[in-house]
């Protein structure tokens, strides 16, 4: 049985016995093994704040290590070890993604399914084609790890079943983006210079939430308008920003005045998400980090920037995601930059 935390974002579910640890253990015990503050743990226990991925993972591992009534199954062990192996360099959202799909699929499929069983399981799902593709992606990464020597399980000399399964065809949907006017409306509705700076920076830099959260004053190169960021897989890169972001960053930093090696925001992951959710509800617009990242790519494409350049500016690994994000750029948008090769001089 699984259960959802009070106040947790949609999709964060963990086993009932793990959930019960929140009530069973004291605040001091929880803080000790999770390495989180007592104040934060107290707020989670009272339902005032959602649990972080770090706390969920710590609860799960504690449950696995201290359950005296049953032996932990290989499937449960594999999920714990897999998430441990992924912990460094991945975002909250990525941990949530793996947890959500693997805790549903693996108890059904086990560790050594046949390709036909995997295919039948995906086909039987009642979710959308996009949802089925998400299941496939999570299982593909998991089984590739499991059937490698890195996992420590005795599967490295066997055929990985996921390699013999065709992925579900992902629908080519037009993913939602914002217009410049809509972004300006969100900035206008934002209640502080901090929130205005966050929205402008998301849009002008194409930052992921994990990248934006960890910016420090010493990372900002004001002369060249670029920011040193730590992206996926702990890879360093640079993100550009414009004069609008510069304006609100200067206003906010003059108010907050962080030290050079401190984060420039006074809120974290959940604080930023809550602020964006509130603005989205108030304006009726899509207001989340993924939408801003798509908007960054689409606005550049509409301005005539080629996809390879957008890929480099947004620190994407391949062109595929850029092409998905800019699919909303219409033929008419592109036609403005057309010059007939035989007619124009």
**153 and 94 co-located in one domain:** yes
Q: Is residue 304 part of a domain?
A: yes
At residue 12, the pLDDT reads 40
At residue 20, the pLDDT reads 67
At residue 233, the pLDDT reads 67
Q: Is residue 342 part of a domain?
A: no
At residue 18, the pLDDT reads 58
**21 and 134 co-located in one domain:** no
**196 and 277 co-located in one domain:** yes
Q: Is residue 340 part of a domain?
A: no
User: 124, 154, 171 — which closes off a domain?
Assistant: 171
Question: Apex CA 102: angle with CA 16 and CA 290, to 5°?
Answer: 105
**200 and 275 co-located in one domain:** yes
At residue 259, the pLDDT reads 93
Q: Is residue 207 part of a domain?
A: yes
What pTM, to 2 d.p., does this model score?
Answer: 0.61
**68 and 205 co-located in one domain:** no
**16 and 130 co-located in one domain:** no
Q: Is residue 292 part of a domain?
A: yes
Q: In what order do the strands lie in the sheet with 236-240?
A: 220-221, 226-230, 236-240
**122 and 238 co-located in one domain:** no
Which residues in the chain land under pLDDT 50? 1-14, 68-71
At residue 13, the pLDDT reads 45
Distance from C-alpha of 34 to C-alpha of 40, rounded to nearest angstrom:
11
Among 7, 4, 46, which Cα is nearest to 273's? 7
**95 and 54 co-located in one domain:** no
The percent helix, strand, coil of the chain (3-state, each to 5) is: 60, 5, 35
**134 and 164 co-located in one domain:** yes
Strands (E), 115-225: 220-221
CATH code of the domain containing 270: 1.10.443.10
Q: Is residue 81 part of a domain?
A: no
The distance of Cα 249 from the centroid of its chain, to the nearest Å, equals 24
Distance from C-alpha of 225 to C-alpha of 243, rounded to nearest angstrom:
8
At residue 2, the pLDDT reads 42
Domain count for the chain: 3
**283 and 307 co-located in one domain:** yes
Q: Is residue 343 part of a domain?
A: no
Q: Is residue 344 part of a domain?
A: no
User: 144, 171, 198 — which closes off a domain?
Assistant: 171
Whether 61 and 54 have beta carbons less than 8 Å apart is answered as: no
CATH code of the domain containing 23: 1.10.260
**95 and 59 co-located in one domain:** no
At residue 66, the pLDDT reads 59
Residue-number span of the structural domain to which 20 is assigned: 1-72
User: 121, 150, 171 — which closes off a domain?
Assistant: 171
**296 and 326 co-located in one domain:** yes
At residue 70, the pLDDT reads 45
């Amino acid at each position: 049985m699984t259960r959802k935390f009070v106040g947790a974002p949609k999709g964060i579910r963990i086993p009932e016995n793990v959930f019960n640890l929140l009530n069973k253990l004291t605040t001091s015990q929880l803080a000790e093994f999770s390495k989180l503050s007592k104040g934060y743990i107290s707020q989670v226990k009272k339902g005032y704040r959602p649990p972080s991925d770090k706390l969920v993972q710590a609860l799960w591992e504690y449950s696995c290590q201290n359950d005296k009534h049953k032996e932990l199954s290989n499937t449960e062990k594999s999920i714990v070890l897999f998430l441990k192996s992924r912990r460094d360099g991945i975002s909250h959202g990525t941990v949530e993604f793996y947890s959500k799909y693997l805790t549903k699929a693996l108890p059904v499929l086990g560790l050594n399914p046949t390709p036909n069983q995997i295919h039948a399981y995906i086909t039987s799902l009642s979710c959308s084609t996009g949802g089925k593709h998400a299941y496939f992606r999570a299982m593909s990464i998991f089984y590739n790890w499991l059937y490698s020597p890195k996992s420590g399980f005795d599967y490295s000399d066997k055929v990985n079943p996921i390699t013999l399964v065709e992925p579900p065809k992902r629908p080519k949907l037009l993913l939602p983006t914002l217009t410049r006017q809509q972004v300006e409306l969100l900035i206008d509705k934002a209640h502080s210079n901090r929130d205005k700076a966050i929205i402008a920076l998301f849009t002008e830099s194409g930052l992921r939430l994990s990248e934006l959260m960890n910016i420090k004053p010493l990372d900002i190169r004001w002369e060249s308008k670029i920011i040193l960021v730590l992206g996926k897989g702990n890879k360093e890169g640079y993100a550009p920003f414009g004069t609008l972001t510069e304006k609100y960053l200067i206003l906010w930093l003059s108010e907050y005045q962080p030290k050079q090696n401190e984060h420039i925001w006074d809120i974290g992951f959940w604080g930023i998400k809550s602020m964006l959710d509130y603005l989205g509800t108030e304006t009726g617009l899509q207001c989340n980090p993924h939408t801003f990242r798509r908007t960054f790519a689409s606005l550049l494409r509409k301005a005539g920037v080629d996809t390879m350049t957008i890929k480099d500016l947004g620190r994407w690994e391949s062109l595929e995601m850029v092409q998905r994000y800019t699919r909303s750029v219409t033929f008419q948008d592109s036609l403005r930059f057309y010059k007939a090769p035989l007619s124009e001089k």
